[in-house]
A and B are shown apart, each in its own frame.
Chain A
């Protein structure tokens, strides 16, 4: 198998005769017998068998796509004409030929499958009278080809039909100017005559290999062979008669034929490799397509196939148009974005700009609120700390705090040791940066010491938790709850201590912020 067989699969060659169908796919061959009705059409059973057998035969290479099948058909019912038409384009020739066929053939063109071969060499157009083209037209009843075409198409093949007699002639090596090819089949024979390489006549001879074998078995085979040989007109045979078919089994007849021919006519059998699915027509087709690299010079086409070819051409243009459209679309996509996205982008930009207009207000609000937050002194923390620091028996006579960090306390305590402890506790709380006992005066009775303390409270650093105090969180206390709240150390006892219980401040003031100007 060639590497790219799946891209360009090898062709299949088929010969459809009167009684058999032979197929060759590479080296695989198939031979099926055909059953026909009285009118020559294949029977329904035969068609079903053919389809199923061919499918099985082709399934071995199911990975292939649709494969082209070159089919050689027999000469029965085939008409051969030489027609002349004015030199013109291929489409014009098709149109003209339809008219010619209508005149020359017994059936209208719509009922024929026909093909033609140009017999005139291509010449440049000359001025003046139009050039005449000679064409060889071959036609057969449409139904014959349509039936075969339907069977082969249903097997996934693309059939192309030609005459088996044309295909056999390609096996003739170095043919003379005029020659004939006689294919001896089992029940009938085909004789085709060529002049200057162009088929001039095609005949069906009503005898075949089985008749010859019967004649050979008779008492006087020579005279019987003469009767058969006389059906071949020696004058029209040309210079050489090529013999194909079962020539080995009828060798006595072929020898007799060679002897009876005039000296001007040579008789030469064509050796064909024997095997299933192999015949002179199939091998001739294969030689044409594979060795010579050309398609059969004349193919028979149904009218619908001609329309399909034209439609195929149109669909090619359609695909080209689609491809061009896609190309334009891919180019246009580059420019489509501005048209699609620009309105949305402009709208969003306008919204963003409107928001930006509000930014100064947001900045001012933030500055104002931050100023407000950072300028709230932590009065409740300070009061709580002082209450905690006061020892039993102490009395705070006045407490004054301002937001410029000044604090002033006037109190009376039992002795100077309590004063020292009070000051130490205030400093240890971390809320005070300086605590100064401005005045410490013992009372005349010596029972008390009156002190005046001044100091500075300290603002905590941003993000730093407030100084540790003994107070508990009782935020959002109601008045009733507040009245029940147990006081901190400030009045733990001492009679005469007039400082009332100090409720703890709400948690919101627990973290005094840093002042910000």
Chain B
């Protein structure tokens, strides 16, 4: 191959410079536009993330409060099975009563009013020491079921220290909360 003369080399050099300038100007401009578009997309995404962060910030306290209440009631509402809820709750109440030395009498279950978001109500009668009755009242809260004591009736018995109790307990229906529209944040 022939060796290039100085003049030819200079022409090639100048040509290369012009081609480079052309590429830088035109390709560079389009590349710059693409980069700017990408940057603006990122800026929008970043703004979305910031907005979402602000939106979620109040929920940090709510999550903590839910956890605390779950710990207090020893219950996870999501894990409650509606089909077996009444049976399980009834068994747990009776077990708790028996543990407290209460001799249970008739136990009646009846469907509760759905308007009050209740699944069933139970009426329990029993006889036992006053300490057992009050202990049962205290333990009902942490049995792991959504129980609300509707009425309490205590009457003394003939035996000293023994009382007859009559409780009406309402079992709440979490499914009716599920169907409710979520409150605004």
- Min CB distance A376 to B, Å, is 6
Interface size class for chain A? 35 or more
Which residue on A lies nearest to B173, using beta carbons? A368
Contacting residues, chain A, for B178 (C-beta < 8 A) = 364
Q: How far is the CA of A53 from the CA of B151 in the complex (A)?
A: 113
Residue A454 is within 8 A (CB to CB) of chain B in the complex: no
Contacting pair A400 B63 (CB below 8 A): no
Q: Name the one of B42, B101, B155, B161 contacting A341, with C-beta atoms under 8 angstroms.
A: B42
- Min CB distance B167 to A, Å, is 10
Within 8 A of B (CB), among A11-55: none
Which residue on B lies nearest to A337, using beta carbons? B42
Known A-B contacts A479-B132, A508-B72; the reply to A375 vs B148 at CB < 8 A is yes
Residue B141 is within 8 A (CB to CB) of chain A in the complex: yes
Residue A416 is within 8 A (CB to CB) of chain B in the complex: no
Residue A367 is within 8 A (CB to CB) of chain B in the complex: yes
Q: How far is the CA of A363 from the CA of B149 in the complex (A)?
A: 24
Q: Name the one of B49, B156, B172, B180 contacting A349, with C-beta atoms under 8 angstroms.
A: B49
Residue B29 is within 8 A (CB to CB) of chain A in the complex: no
Contacting pair B151 A364 (CB below 8 A): no
Residue A401 is within 8 A (CB to CB) of chain B in the complex: yes
Mark interface residues in B117-148 (1 if CB within 8 Å of A CB, else 0): 10000000000011110110110011000101
Residue A359 is within 8 A (CB to CB) of chain B in the complex: yes
- Count of B interface residues, CB-CB < 8 Å: 61
Mark interface residues in A494-517 (1 if CB within 8 Å of B CB, else 0): 000011111101101100000000
- Min CB distance B52 to A, Å, is 5
Within 8 A of B (CB), among A342-394: 342, 345-346, 348-349, 352-353, 355-356, 359-373, 375-377, 379-380, 383
Mark interface residues in A391-411 (1 if CB within 8 Å of B CB, else 0): 000011111111100000000
Residue B160 is within 8 A (CB to CB) of chain A in the complex: yes
Within 8 A of B (CB), among A125-173: none
Contacting residues, chain B, for A334 (C-beta < 8 A) = 39
Contacting pair B52 A338 (CB below 8 A): no
Contacting pair B131 A503 (CB below 8 A): yes
Residue B153 is within 8 A (CB to CB) of chain A in the complex: yes
Contacting pair A500 B77 (CB below 8 A): no
Q: How far is the CA of A506 from the CA of B172 in the complex (A)?
A: 23
Of A353, A485, A503, most buried by chain B (CB within 10 Å of CB) is A503
Q: How far is the CA of A356 from the CA of B58 in the complex (A)?
A: 12
Which residue on B lies nearest to A374, using beta carbons? B148
Contacting pair B66 A500 (CB below 8 A): no
Contacting pair A360 B182 (CB below 8 A): yes
Which residue on B lies nearest to A349, using beta carbons? B49
Q: Name the one of A348, A352, A362, A479 contacting B63, with C-beta atoms under 8 angstroms.
A: A362
Residue B1 is within 8 A (CB to CB) of chain A in the complex: no
Residue B185 is within 8 A (CB to CB) of chain A in the complex: yes
Contacting residues, chain B, for A345 (C-beta < 8 A) = 42, 45-46, 49
Contacting residues, chain A, for B162 (C-beta < 8 A) = 500
Known A-B contacts A359-B59, A362-B66, A368-B174; the reply to A346 vs B45 at CB < 8 A is yes
Contacting pair B156 A503 (CB below 8 A): no
Which residue on A lies nearest to B42, using beta carbons? A338
Within 8 A of B (CB), among A175-219: none
Contacting pair B52 A509 (CB below 8 A): no
Contacting residues, chain B, for A353 (C-beta < 8 A) = 52
Contacting residues, chain A, for B70 (C-beta < 8 A) = 365, 369
Contacting pair B138 A380 (CB below 8 A): yes
Contacting residues, chain A, for B182 (C-beta < 8 A) = 359-360, 363-364
Residue A8 is within 8 A (CB to CB) of chain B in the complex: no
Residue B2 is within 8 A (CB to CB) of chain A in the complex: no
Q: How far is the CA of A361 from the CA of B66 in the complex (A)?
A: 11
Which residue on B lies nearest to A507, using beta carbons? B138
Q: Name the one of B62, B134, B149, B152 contacting A366, with C-beta atoms under 8 angstroms.
A: B62
Contacting pair B156 A400 (CB below 8 A): no
Residue B8 is within 8 A (CB to CB) of chain A in the complex: no
Contacting residues, chain A, for B135 (C-beta < 8 A) = 477, 479, 482, 503
Contacting pair B152 A335 (CB below 8 A): no
- List 8 A-B pairs, minimum CB-CB distance, nearest first: A360-B182, A338-B42, A482-B131, A369-B69, A402-B151, A500-B130, A500-B161, A503-B131
30 contacts between A and B (CB under 8 A): A335-B35, A337-B39, A341-B42, A342-B42, A342-B45, A345-B49, A349-B48, A349-B49, A352-B52, A359-B185, A362-B63, A364-B178, A365-B177, A366-B69, A367-B177, A367-B180, A368-B146, A371-B117, A372-B148, A373-B73, A375-B148, A380-B138, A383-B154, A400-B151, A400-B154, A475-B138, A483-B129, A501-B131, A502-B130, A509-B138
Chain B residues at the A interface, C-beta cutoff of 8 Å: 35-36, 38-39, 41-42, 45-46, 48-49, 52-53, 55-56, 59, 62-63, 65-66, 69-70, 72-73, 77-78, 100-101, 117, 129-132, 134-135, 137-138, 141-142, 146, 148-156, 160-163, 168, 172, 174, 177-178, 180, 182-183, 185
Given pairs A403-B151, A482-B132, A500-B160, 16 additional interface contacts (CB within 8 A) = A338-B41, A349-B48, A356-B56, A362-B59, A362-B62, A364-B180, A368-B174, A369-B77, A371-B117, A372-B73, A398-B155, A399-B154, A402-B152, A477-B135, A482-B129, A500-B163
